[in-house]
Amino acid sequence: MSYIKIGKYYGDSDDAPIYQFKEVLDVDYKDISDVKTWFLMEREANKEYSYCEDGAMNYVVNNGGFDSLPESHKDIVAEKIGNSIFKDWLNGVSGSFETKSYFSEELRTSILVHLQNN
């Protein structure tokens, strides 16, 4: 499955944008995608939070899942997304995450277990 990546420009042009968001990055753009970078793009590249959230979670799903992330990135996902999932679960409501294409029961469980253990 293809997903949007974050590319950072390392070419010679002074006119090229610093960041690029595409499934297939142009020449001179290096893929710098990871969970932390996706959430930094809200501020760095003036992107909407929901865009960054979707980008981060699609990165997770397409790169081995939550359990394959480094601990520091699991912490970021748990902080940014897990708390919302947990609140919805406690209140017995379906949150917006259940409607996302990347959301699965396995992903929800992994995030909630990480939250519980940390």
What proportion of the chain, given as a percentage, has pLDDT over 70? 82
Residue 35, pLDDT above cutoff 90? yes
pLDDT band at 33 (very low <50, low <70, confident <90, very high): very high
pLDDT digits (tens, 9 = 90+) for 1-29: 589 999 999 999 999 999 999 999 999 99
Residue with tokens 């290096």: 30
Contact 77, 60 (CB under 8 A): yes
Contact 69, 60 (CB under 8 A): yes
* Nearest partner of 60 among 70, 69, 51, judged by Cα: 69
| 113 vs 118: CA distance, rounded Å | 9
End-to-end CA distance of the chain: 31
Residue 37, pLDDT above cutoff 70? yes
* Nearest partner of 77 among 36, 118, 33, judged by Cα: 36
pLDDT band at 111 (very low <50, low <70, confident <90, very high): confident
